[in-house]
Amino acid sequence: MTIWNNLDTLEAYNNLVNSDKKVNLAEAMTGDNGADRVKKYSVPMAAGLTYNYAAKEVDDEILEKLVALANESKLSEKFEALYNGEVVNTGEKRLVLHQLTRGQLGSAVTADGVDKRIFYVEQQEKIADFAKKVHSGEITNAAGEKFTTVVQIGIGGSDLGPRAMYLALENWAKKNGCFKMDAKFISNVDPDDAAAVLASTDVAHSIFILVSKSGTTLETLTNESFVKDALAKAGLDASKHMIAVTSETSPLAKSSDYLEAFFMDDYIGGRFSSTSAVGGAVLSLAFGPDIFARFLQGAAEQDKLCANNDVMNNPAMLDALIGVYERNILGYPSTAVLPYSQALSRFPAHLQQLDMESNGKSVNRFGEPVNYKTGPVIFGEPGTNGQHSFYQLLHQGTDIVPLQFIGFKNNQMGVDVDIQDSTSQQKLCANVAAQIVAFACGKKDENSNKNFKGGRPSSIIVGDQLNPEALGALLAHFENKVMFQGFLWNINSFDQEGVQLGKVLAKKVLAHETDGALKVYSDMFEI
């Protein structure tokens, strides 16, 4: 059995707390030493990506202590227990199997009487078969016409991850001749969301994917009705336009309301579901099942690296450890994700859910309050846009915000212009390189308003191009980073009890069972 201990009970952690050693980042990153650090503090990821942490406030001594922390916390053993099917989601008494949707790292995992790897592969194949039939015209609308658009109806993990992945590969797919169908997304219970998407969609040639594990998510069922209304008004039979992604036990699983149902299960948390049927259906329809398979392949390769118990060659584990060092030893309360790639415009929003919903907890996995900070606030926008926005605070604000850059040598669409002796892509890359050094080293100026103190830590993930494998590896890296941090903080990263109270109170409002402040707020909205 895995032994779970609070972070502050670990000797290695207390060694870090009690150490006076601090890295002067501005100094460390200057001159030849800086160049050496950039070469040295670098570790390969899957799909040709590299994780570089030279501009983090660590050195060999601190890294050694962090490795000791990883070992004492038994991060590798915990991951091993997880992928071999231990009930790591202890609160909900569930296995945690999202890695199994893309590959098998350990022994066979049986649950609900089946081999779960076989189950996930079956679902992937069933989706692939369905998508191929849609693309070939074997499955059509009632008039025998091909479907041209797929619309995902889901919220939270059924929306943010798949949407971010779709946007990440949309232009790549168009450029590489594997773009099959437009994908759109309806998520918010605000009726203007569904109304606006439907107003710009050719519903007669659209497949709608209803995504809800439980089959009871209020927003999603509401938006399904919205869509059914629109289909009925267009004289269309909704059951010929809708598929479901749900659990086998949900009310949606065997309903004749859907052309087909694809399954996930309780072992895949919503925010970890992009590689399951939740992402699989929409991405396979949009880009073809082969592209989705390549995306899974990138994630699987990255998972393998994360199962490596050699900490210094395990990028997600290193990233997790450095993050905990920043959060608990250096006391930084937030982290910015800054992809220098317009295709990753919604990737920070996905990571925001992934990280904050997983690790925004105050009790450990035994329900005891923890005496240390857990998950930070995560936010971000693509560069260079952010440079003209909130970077002012990042450079000169009174709080230090650790930064996670992402960049690629090449763009996706292969169209570029040469202005002032450089292409746009070169300018983009020059900016991300420049920012890392600017944040780390700063620059002295007599005018203190123009003075940059530096000492602002960042890491970067660099790749050749954002393609399906690279995207899968990126996704898996952050999923695994969040998992390792949850292990270190001894919290359950796989439940989300913090979202329940709002739901309960909203139901009371709708049932007019309110009093006190809630009644006055409800009256304000004339509910």
| Residues numbered 360-389 forming contacts with a second copy, rule: CB under 8 A | 360-363, 367-370, 372-379, 381-385, 387-389
- State phi, psi for 382 to the nearest 5 degrees: -65, 145
Please return the burial class of 33, using the count of CB atoms within 10 Å of its CB with bins 0-12, 13-18 and 19+. Answer: exposed
Nearest CA to 480 among 295, 323, 265?
323
Q: What residues between 29 and 68 interact with a second copy by CB under 8 A?
A: 29-32, 34-35, 37-39, 50, 52, 54-55
Q: How far is the CB of 11 from a second copy (least distance, A)?
A: 23
Residue 399 lies near a second copy (rule: CB under 8 A): yes
- The answer to whether the CB of 486 falls within 8 A of the CB of 493 is yes
Taking the C-alpha atoms of residue 326 and residue 440, their distance in angstroms, rounded to an integer, is 15
Residue from the set 85, 103, 157, 402 that interacts with a second copy by CB under 8 A? 157
**Nearby residues of 97 by Cβ (< 8 Å), 6 or more positions away:** 83, 85, 109, 111, 116, 120, 265, 267, 268
Residue 93 lies near a second copy (rule: CB under 8 A): no
- The answer to whether the CB of 408 falls within 8 A of the CB of 341 is yes
Name residue 241's amino acid. H
Q: What residues between 503 and 522 interact with a second copy by CB under 8 A?
A: 503-510, 515-522
Q: How far is the CB of 203 from a second copy (least distance, A)?
A: 14
Active site residue 388: yes
Closest CB to a second copy among residues 124, 212: 212
Residue 442 lies near a second copy (rule: CB under 8 A): yes
> In this chain, which stretch among 11-19, 56-64, 396-404, 469-477 interacts with a second copy, using CB under 8 A?
396-404
Residue 5 lies near a second copy (rule: CB under 8 A): no
**Nearby residues of 3 by Cβ (< 8 Å), 6 or more positions away:** 74
DSSP state of 464: S
- The answer to whether the CB of 288 falls within 8 A of the CB of 131 is yes
Q: What residues between 131 and 150 interact with a second copy by CB under 8 A?
A: none
Q: Which one of the listed residues 133, 409, 503, 507 is annotated catalytic?
A: 503
- The answer to whether the CB of 383 falls within 8 A of the CB of 367 is no
Closest CB to a second copy among residues 110, 452: 452
Residue from the set 6, 187, 247, 314 that interacts with a second copy by CB under 8 A? 187
Residue 444 lies near a second copy (rule: CB under 8 A): no
Active site residue 357: yes
Q: How far is the CB of 172 from a second copy (least distance, A)?
A: 9
> In this chain, which stretch among 62-70, 93-101, 113-121, 441-449 interacts with a second copy, using CB under 8 A?
441-449
Taking the C-alpha atoms of residue 276 and residue 157, their distance in angstroms, rounded to an integer, is 11
Closest CB to a second copy among residues 127, 428: 428
Residue 329 lies near a second copy (rule: CB under 8 A): no
Closest CB to a second copy among residues 103, 463: 463
Token readout for 350 is 């996905």
Closest CB to a second copy among residues 39, 133: 39
Helix (H) or strand (E) holding 115: strand 114-115
Q: Which one of the listed residues 357, 381, 469, 479 is annotated catalytic?
A: 357
Nearest CA to 104 among 269, 250, 307?
307
Token readout for 204 is 């007669």
| Catalytic residue list | 357, 388, 503
